Chains A and B, each alone.
Chain A
């Protein structure tokens, strides 16, 4: 999941850079610092994990239902039709109502939810969303929570949540532009042929071959299968199939 987090941050940083280098959004001196740039501060990013649909009547493997975070999906009882779970990264898991896009992980693509908090000139917000959703992987902004007064606390390591320290107030100078703090929940689509490998013709021994090797670890693929068998492709099932008796090796996972 750290690799997925890296992909998310890669696209997010590219969108931030493109927005910051947009001359139409810069106010004055091109060599100026934070005060003349539209993007003021990146407070933190957090990966929520893979988004999978809850199956009716099967709240599935004891998934804990965490309290919703700010800007996150509203908590719903497990088993409600269309409800989704985030799993794989967020320590306690997030269960919630289906998103507006109704997308969830399926055999064609994986859906990854993430969130980030930035301080930005509100005039540049639409341009930033455009840069985020048109560059890199397929991103969609699901929700946004705009706060008129940016936080002044330092972000705590790893979570992006405030550590709470009044002594760090006024340590940030954003210039004379108006700024808002925005917490964005977004989703990224990863094509299964890329993350789980592009299957080729089966080998002589019946094992799957891959034109592109799978990037997703077999353990995580197995977790997906435990969650819902319909999420796996035929090649995934062959990959996770136990070895035949007498055959050496525990997994058909090809070496990277």
Chain B
């Protein structure tokens, strides 16, 4: 009887982390989560844009905004936004290829799920707190 009890306890403790994470992933999947892109993914996206289509042309495929910014006063009604005398001419903020790639990726990811939830940060629960490892108790020092 004692051997059986010991076997069950050991088996339970060894199998619990994997079964716990499997249950958590299953619950998390019901939330239809998505994750923000990482810096590496953005870098790959930039390479895919600049390395193939953007090189030397100044325009990305399906991109209506030339790299370098819109002409000053573009889209404004005539007479509107006329700078006062002596003011420096302004230009619309230009999007770098990095910004464009990042924005595309961010939009794709935000539409991929219903909410952001990082699986790694939720699954990495401390199953064995440091104090318990140190004292052999349930986080409690005698």
Residues of chain A whose beta carbon lies under 8 Å from any beta carbon of chain B: 1-3, 5-6, 9-10, 13, 16-17, 20, 32-35, 37, 39-45, 47, 49, 61-64, 87-93, 119, 154-160, 167-168, 170-175, 219-220, 223, 226-227, 248-250, 253, 255-256
What CA separation (Å) do A91 and B20 show in the bound complex?
Answer: 20
Which B residues fall within an 8 A CB radius of A? 1-2, 4-5, 8, 12, 16-17, 20, 23-24, 27-28, 30-31, 33-34, 36-39, 102, 106-107, 109-118, 120-122, 124-127, 129-131, 137-142
22 contacts between A and B (CB under 8 A): A1-B129, A3-B20, A9-B27, A9-B122, A10-B27, A13-B28, A16-B115, A34-B116, A42-B33, A42-B117, A62-B142, A63-B140, A64-B141, A87-B138, A89-B129, A91-B130, A155-B118, A167-B39, A171-B38, A173-B107, A220-B138, A223-B138
B122 contacts A249, CB within 8 Å? no
A63: which B residues are within 8 A, CB to CB? Answer: 140-141
- Chain A residues whose C-beta falls within 8 Å of the C-beta of B120 in the assembled complex: 157
Select A168's contact among B1, B39, B139, beta carbons within 8 Å.
B39
Pairwise interchain contact B139-A173, C-beta atoms closer than 8 A: no
Task: Decide: B114 and A39 in contact? CB cutoff 8 A.
Answer: yes
Asked if B117 and A41 make an inter-chain contact with CB atoms under 8 angstroms apart, the answer reads yes
Within the complex, the shortest CB–CB distance from A120 to chain B, in Å, comes to 9
Return A4 CB to nearest CB of chain B, in Å. 11
B115 contacts which of A41, A167, A220 (Cβ < 8 Å)?
Answer: A41
Task: Given the known inter-chain contacts A34-B113, A34-B116, A35-B110, please indicate yes or no for A156 contacting B12, CB distance below 8 A.
Answer: no
Tell me the complex Cα distance, A160–B124, Å: 10
Evaluate contact between B30 and A13: CB separation under 8 angstroms. Answer: yes
In the bound assembly, the distance between CA atoms of A167 and B115 in angstroms comes to 21
B139/A89 in contact, CB under 8 A: yes
Beyond A37-B115, A255-B5, is A160–B121 a contact (Cβ under 8 Å)? yes
A154→B12 CA distance, assembly (Å): 33
State the 6 A-B residue pairs at the shortest beta-carbon distance, nearest first.
A33-B111, A41-B116, A171-B36, A157-B124, A173-B110, A158-B124
Q: Which of A32, A44, A49 contacts B111 (CB 8 A)?
A: A32
Q: Are B1 and A249 in contact (CB under 8 A)?
A: yes
The minimal Cβ–Cβ distance linking B43 to chain A, given in whole angstroms, is: 11
